[in-house]
Amino acid sequence: MFDKKNSDKVMDFCNKHDVKLSTSYDPRGRFNKGQLEIFLENVETFKDYIRNVSIVTTSQNVQTIIKSNDKSTFDYLYKNFPVDFDAYMPSPLIKTDSKLIPKDSELLAFNKYLIDNYPECENMDAFHDPLNQTGAMMCTRGNSITIQPDGSSPGGCCGVAYQRDKKTGETPFETGDMVEKFLKKYNCFECEYYENCPFTCFVKADMPGDHNDMEECVFKETFNYVKKTKGFKPKRDGEDDLSYGFRQKVKML
């Protein structure tokens, strides 16, 4: 917890250098009662400087947000800050990946829940706002600095540890191969929602396991749900825009 003296130093630094802060929150397995109180006190102290709150989409977090009777902390964060959900990033250093990574069916149920109850979460914009067609992937991890356990700080995607350790014969598994495999699997170029789709974390999507429990694409099914319940009408402006949109989506890779 920051005392007033140290809090003032941080705020003076933020004001001087026009710095904004981000913080992360997990509703399951991260805080005990005392730690949660400290977290909320710090958030309130730096409220004017926090630009977003990020939550990792683990299976445990998904189920807690959907099923918990006490959503007071999440409701407070949602009301006061932009909230987004990062895809769970598989890592060869974490032996519990299979327990943490949510099934596709869980993600679909979660997307529906957010659309109905928390539609202003940043990840949901592309699904319910036809004017929010940025033509770019939604990936907050690429806008942050992640320090790996070995002390390295990769630029862009922090899934390089997974990519480095996953091999195809003697050839490192390239990010471009992951993207191509996903696009072919779901026939993305022919999808009516292509121009609106925020796409997935391709590293997460590539991880093998029983979490891939759906034939259809989670994102397409989310769009279908919104179309059925909210009347969303996707917009596609032709091949030129389609090509431009794709270049925008993969330029960070």
Write the pLDDT tens digit of every residue in 143-183: 455 555 666 655 555 555 555 555 433 344 455 677 888 88
| pLDDT of 136 higher than 80 | no
Which of 64, 81, 98 is at the close of a domain?
Answer: 81
Least confidently predicted of 91-100, 114-123, 216-225: 91-100
- Predicted local distance difference test score (pLDDT) of residue 221: 96
24 and 71 assigned to the same domain: yes
240 and 122 assigned to the same domain: yes
138 and 239 assigned to the same domain: yes
The mean pLDDT value for 187-214 works out to: 84
120 and 225 assigned to the same domain: yes
In a domain, 101, yes or no: no
Indicate the number of domains in the chain.
2
In a domain, 97, yes or no: no
Using CA atoms, how far apart are residues 90 and 87, in angstroms rounded to an integer? 9
119 and 225 assigned to the same domain: yes
Contact 103, 213 (CB under 8 A): yes
112 and 52 assigned to the same domain: no
Using CA atoms, how far apart are residues 107 and 86, in angstroms rounded to an integer? 12
In a domain, 149, yes or no: yes
Strand partners, 87: 57
Which of 81, 96, 120 is at the close of a domain?
Answer: 81
In a domain, 204, yes or no: yes
End-to-end CA distance of the chain: 38
Average pLDDT over the chain, rounded to an integer:
78
In a domain, 206, yes or no: yes
Using CA atoms, how far apart are residues 221 and 215, in angstroms rounded to an integer? 10
E strand segments, 80-187: 83-87, 167-168, 171-172
User: In 3D, which of 86, 1, 78, 80 has the Cα closest to residue 36?
Assistant: 1
36 and 110 assigned to the same domain: no
CA 170 and chain centroid, separation = 31
Using CA atoms, how far apart are residues 160 and 164, in angstroms rounded to an integer? 6
115 and 215 assigned to the same domain: yes
| pLDDT of 244 higher than 50 | no
Strands 167-168 and 171-172: antiparallel
The model's pTM is: 0.79
77 and 122 assigned to the same domain: no
168 and 54 assigned to the same domain: no
In a domain, 87, yes or no: no
Q: How many CB atoms lie within 10 A of CB 251?
A: 9
| pLDDT of 199 higher than 50 | yes
120 and 211 assigned to the same domain: yes
62 and 122 assigned to the same domain: no
- Predicted local distance difference test score (pLDDT) of residue 118: 95
**Domain range for 230:** 106-253
195: confidence class by pLDDT, cuts 50, 70, 90 = confident
Q: How many CB atoms lie within 10 A of CB 46?
A: 16
Strand partners, 168: 171
Q: Is the dihedral of CA 204, 90, 63, 45 positive or negative?
A: negative
* Structure tokens given for 209: 């396991």
The mean pLDDT value for 233-245 works out to: 48
